[in-house]
Amino acid sequence: MPQNIRELKPKDKDFPALLREIPFPPKKLYLWAKSDFQFPTSHFLSVVGTRRNSAYGEEILRKIITELSPYGFCTVSGMALGIDTIAAKASLENNIPTVAVLGSGMSPEAFYPAKNFKLAEEIVAKGGAIISEYEPDFKATLWSFPQRNRIISGLSPATLVVEAPEKSGSLITARFALDQNRDVLAIPGGAYSQNSKGANKLIKEGAGLVTSADDILRAYGLEISGRSDLPARSDLQNLSPEENKILEILAEPQDIDSLIRKSKMPSNIAQSIIGLLEIRGIIKKVGSDYARM
C-alpha cells in the first residue's frame, strides 16, 4: 500500500474548493501525496483524450504544456494510457504540478492501469498527487471511469480535449464540464482523422479552438508574453506569397500530398517551399502530417 494516503471530506479545508461546487460532489477523496501536500493555487487545466493517440496528438500536447510552464498551471488527467499519460509525463518534464484522478483504488493490486503505477509514484515524489473517491482496494469497473470523469472536469475551470473519437470517454468528461458550467477547449484535427472526430464536433458545437498555448492563456484571461521558442515575427512578415499560401492551407495539419494538391503549385516547387518552411522552424512534420509551429 502506498504511504501517505489520507482521506478528505468536503468539509475539510484541504478538500479542493472547486469540487464543492459541482453537482454530486464526491463524499470523500483518498489523496496519495507527500504529507505536506496542499492543492496548488495554480490555474488548473484538465486534459483528456484517446488512449490510442496519434503522433500529432502527442506532439501538439507536449508543445502546449511546455509553453504553459511559465504561467503557473497545474494539469489534471485520468492516468489512462495515451493522452492522459502524455499529459502527466510532459508536466513532470516541465516542472508543472500534476494531479491524476483514478477510476480505481490506489493499492498496487487494484491500481489501473497497472503499468502506470510507477508513473504515479513519480508524480507523488515530484510534489503532485493521485486522488480517487474509491476505497484503496477497489478494482475498476465499466461505470467507475465515467463516474470519475466528473472529478477530472470538476477540478478545473476548463477541460482540454486533445484527440477523441466520436464515441469516447473524453466526450463524457466534456459533457460533465458543460454541466458544471466550465469551459470546454478542443484541439482540431484532420477532417478524415477518426481520432479527431469527437474534438472537431465539439468545436462545431462551440468549444474553444486551441492550436497553441496562447489560446488557453486567452481562455484563462492571462496576458501573453513573448517566447523565444516561437518563430520571430519578422520571419512571418517576410514570407513570399507561395509560403503564405502553404501556411493558410495548414490551418489544420495536412499530409504532403494534400498540401501539394491544395496549393495548386507544381509538385517540385511546393516541396521546395515546404522544405524551407520546415528548416526555418515555421512548420513541423508530425507523423505523416505537416503542422504549423
Q: Each residue's pLDDT tens digit in the chain (293 positions)?
A: 677 899 999 999 999 999 999 999 999 999 999 988 988 878 999 999 999 998 889 989 999 999 999 999 999 999 999 999 999 999 999 999 999 999 999 999 999 999 999 999 999 999 999 999 999 999 999 999 999 999 999 999 999 999 999 888 899 999 999 999 999 999 998 878 888 899 999 999 999 999 889 999 999 998 765 544 444 444 566 778 888 888 888 877 888 898 899 999 888 888 888 887 886 778 888 778 888 87
pLDDT (0 to 100) of residue 231? 43
pLDDT (0 to 100) of residue 78? 96
Cell of 274: 515546404
Residue 198, phi then psi, degrees to nearest 5: -70, -45
4, amino acid identity: N
Nearest to 286 by CA among 75, 130, 59, 91: 59
Query: Maximum CA pair distance of the chain?
Result: 67
pLDDT (0 to 100) of residue 229? 45
Nearest to 277 by CA among 248, 288, 204: 248
Fold of 5-219: Rossmann fold (3.40.50)
Give the whole-angstrom CA distance, residue 193 versus residue 49. 14
pLDDT (0 to 100) of residue 272? 80
Same fold, 5-219 and 233-292: no
Nearest to 151 by CA among 12, 13, 21, 256: 21
State the Cα angle at 32 between 31 and 35, rounded to 5°. 95
- Looking at the domain that runs over 233-292, which CATH code has it been given? 1.10.10.10
Cell of 102: 483514478
pLDDT (0 to 100) of residue 151? 97
Give the whole-angstrom CA distance, residue 5 versus residue 273. 56
Give the whole-angstrom CA distance, residue 50 versus residue 161. 9
Domain positions in the chain are: 5-219, 233-292
Q: Are 120 and 86 in contact (CB under 8 A)?
A: no
pLDDT (0 to 100) of residue 173? 95
